[in-house]
Amino acid sequence: MARRSSRLLGLVAALLGCLPSLAAQSPFARQYVHGERDVYELRLQVAGEPGVLFGVSEHSVHAAGGAPFERVRWVSLSESQVGDLSRLLEGAEPFDLSLAPGSPPRPAPAVGNPALQMLTDSLHMIYLAVSPAVGADRLREAGDQIVGEIYREDGFASGAVRVERWAAEPRLWLLSLDAKEAGIRTAFLPPRVASWPPLRPWMQAECSGGGPASFEAVEPAGDGFAVAWGCEQATALVALSVETGKILRAELDVRISYTRRRCADEALTDCEVEVRGIQSIAATLTLKPPEPQLPPDQLSENERDGLAYVLKWGIHLTQVAPTSCGRR
């Protein structure tokens, strides 16, 4: 429920079990239903790497202060060359996403593991591509195009182990719209003007269009710290259900031009020589069909009483997915 909804509308929505949003004028506004659960599969490949990452996420609808959101948790993780990596999910905290108009943007969480971080960042960017936070609810008819305001995420004050800040100029196109689906293309481009002073004077980059670095990141690395900065641009193609506003499927392409340095301390002094590179990532997201419900006489006691199974993955990992650079 958007924050400015009246108490009466809130009561009606609660009785109906539905959590609508203010921007009902949008032909594909997300219609959240309390308790709803969806499962998505995300496939991701880094250019030049032989393996493909596979992540399955479970999304359950909740509400806080009347505003609906999806609580997301990764339930499986694997890599085509290594096999099952689900042990890396142990201790992974759930995070929240929302397509509800009026809800504040939810920054991508820092999850610590490089493979899981790439999947989480990609899922976050796909959601952001069709979010009211970047103006997607202003698209009305096929052919509509908009340039959104500069979008910024600044996690430097979060206190997390891995911190970053990122800025982009979103450009959106409503490619198609019929009775069932809406197709949106969103490009995230480096802004032409600086969103912040560089963390250190030597963190300089020139992005396409002549703008400065569009991201900066710092994280622990051994007994020191690794810092990365540079330019990121991405394009997302997303199909939405007109009836529910759910993401049905999506494709994401990301290109990161980065510079990395390893420094001796958190103040980023006594740093090694710069290493430059380019990373390209391709990801696809698919909404999985709901599983058929078993009749009560076929449910276990654990399933009937509402408790969740806890799976322990006793696998010794001898290899992990490649380390990511920049936001991925």
321 pLDDT more than 50 = no
pLDDT digits (tens, 9 = 90+) for 117-149: 899 999 999 999 999 999 999 999 999 999 999
Q: How far is CA 300 from CA 304, 305, 306, in A?
A: 6, 9, 10
Residue 319 confidence class, pLDDT cut points 50, 70, 90: very low
The beta-strand segments (E) located in 80-136 are 83-84, 95-97
User: For residue 283, which amino acid is it?
Assistant: A
Q: What would the two tokens of residue 322 be?
A: 């490649």
What's the pLDDT at 172? 98
The span from the CA of 187 to the CA of 78, in Å, is 29
112 pLDDT more than 80 = no
Residue 97 confidence class, pLDDT cut points 50, 70, 90: very high
Please name the residues in contact with 94: beta carbons below 8 A apart, sequence gap of 6 or more. 71, 72, 73
Whether the pTM exceeds 0.95: the reply is no
Of 34-43, 45-54, 95-104, the poorest mean pLDDT is in: 95-104
Residue 259 confidence class, pLDDT cut points 50, 70, 90: very high
What's the pLDDT at 92? 87
What's the pLDDT at 209? 74
Highest-pLDDT range among 13-22, 58-67, 215-224, 236-245: 236-245
pLDDT digits (tens, 9 = 90+) for 172-210: 999 999 999 999 999 999 999 988 899 899 999 889 878
For the segment 237-257, the average pLDDT, to the nearest whole number, is: 97
Q: What would the two tokens of residue 225 be?
A: 């710290």
